[in-house]
């Protein structure tokens, strides 16, 4: 049903379907336009399409809105949204042909991210309060980072981990106690930034010209250090990327001491989704900030 829905909305006939790997949530495909076409779509072009049997409510339209929100700034490249539906669930994007990094790939990305984070953002969270990510995390608007990170990330994740038995009761208690103390790490001058929200190396594509494209966002207004901490968590970004960011828009004093704090939420997510490999890492971060 979703294939027919996609063809109808795009006004094309799709064929040569090729399933793609690499995702842990959605099923992804490359399809070729075999007939029809309008609005820049031509026969022979490829389209990226992903779907899911039972995604969180409004998952793909939220992702599409996030890509458009990032694109508004004009600093980072994101695929054009070609079509989207929540019932049946699918998202069609511009196809990006991958290539290899050039000499300037990392520096250009660092500068582009700094410019993205400098763009106006009204609040921490989302004005539409839509959930993001495969766990459906809340994004109610908040006036401070500490309030947002506590009520919209750490406490909901602790509840999910408790329900699924992903973490020990002692670790869950530690998360809840840290959430009460986040004001100790907050800075009254921190303004919300437009965040990609899930910026690990698998969500960065490099095209044939060496240019970076960002995909699969979990967009919300948040602390800009969060995106950068996520980039450091699993690697895949060169030091020159972070140096270029720092040159364009220097981080506030003490940012190095907050890296692991920002990494705590994605570590809990991974403990919930993937199990024991991330349990010790989660506990180690809690131990660091409880001392």
Q: Per residue in 194-252, pLDDT tens?
A: 999 999 999 999 999 999 999 999 999 999 999 999 999 999 999 999 999 999 999 99
Integer angstrom CA distances of residue 106 from 113, 138, 213: 11, 32, 12
For position 130, what pLDDT does the model report? 96
Q: Is 287 a catalytic residue?
A: no
Model pTM score: 0.95
- Residue linked to tokens 């094309």: 12
Average pLDDT rounded to a whole number, residues 263-269:
98
Annotated active-site residue in 86, 186, 189, 198:
198
Q: Give percent above pLDDT 90 in the chain.
A: 89
Q: With beta carbons less than 8 A apart as the criterion, state whether 139 and 163 touch.
A: no
Q: Per residue in 106-152, pLDDT tens?
A: 999 999 999 999 999 999 999 999 999 989 999 999 999 999 999 99
Q: Give percent above pLDDT 70 in the chain.
A: 97
The secondary structure of 40-95 as a DSSP string is T--TT-EEEEEE-SSPSTTHHHHHHHHHHHHHHHSSSB-PPEEEEEETTEEEEEE-
Q: Per residue in 145-189, pLDDT tens?
A: 999 999 999 999 999 999 999 999 999 999 999 999 999 998 777
């Amino acid at each position: 049903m979703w294939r027919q829905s996609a063809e109808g909305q795009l006004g094309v006939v799709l064929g040569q379907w090729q399933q793609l790997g690499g995702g842990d949530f959605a099923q992804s495909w490359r399809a070729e336009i075999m007939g029809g076409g309008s609005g820049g779509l031509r026969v022979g072009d490829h389209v990226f399409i992903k779907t899911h049997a039972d995604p969180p409510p409004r998952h793909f339209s939220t992702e599409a809105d996030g890509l458009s929100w990032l694109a508004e700034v004009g600093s980072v490249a994101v695929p054009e949204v070609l079509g989207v539906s929540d019932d049946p669930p699918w998202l069609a994007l511009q196809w990006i042909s991958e290539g290899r990094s050039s000499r300037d790939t990392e520096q250009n990305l660092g500068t582009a991210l700094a410019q993205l984070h400098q763009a106006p953002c009204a609040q921490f969270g989302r004005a539409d309060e839509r959930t993001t990510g495969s766990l459906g995390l809340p994004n109610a608007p908040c006036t401070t980072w500490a309030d947002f990170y506590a009520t919209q990330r750490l406490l909901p994740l602790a509840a999910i981990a408790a329900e699924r038995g992903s973490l020990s009761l002692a670790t869950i208690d530690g998360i809840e106690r840290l959430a009460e103390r986040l004001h100790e790490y907050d800075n009254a001058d921190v303004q919300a930034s437009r965040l990609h929200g899930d910026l690990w190396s698998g969500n960065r594509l490099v095209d044939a010209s060496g240019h970076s494209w960002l995909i699969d966002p979990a967009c919300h207004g948040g602390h800009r250090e969060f995106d950068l901490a996520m980039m450091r968590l699993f690697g895949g970004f060169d030091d020159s990327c972070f140096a270029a960011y720092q040159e364009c828009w220097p981080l506030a004093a003490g940012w190095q001491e907050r890296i692991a704090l920002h990494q705590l939420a994605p570590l809990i997510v991974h403990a919930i989704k993937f199990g024991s490999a991330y349990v010790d890492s989660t506990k180690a971060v809690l131990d660091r900030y409880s001392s």
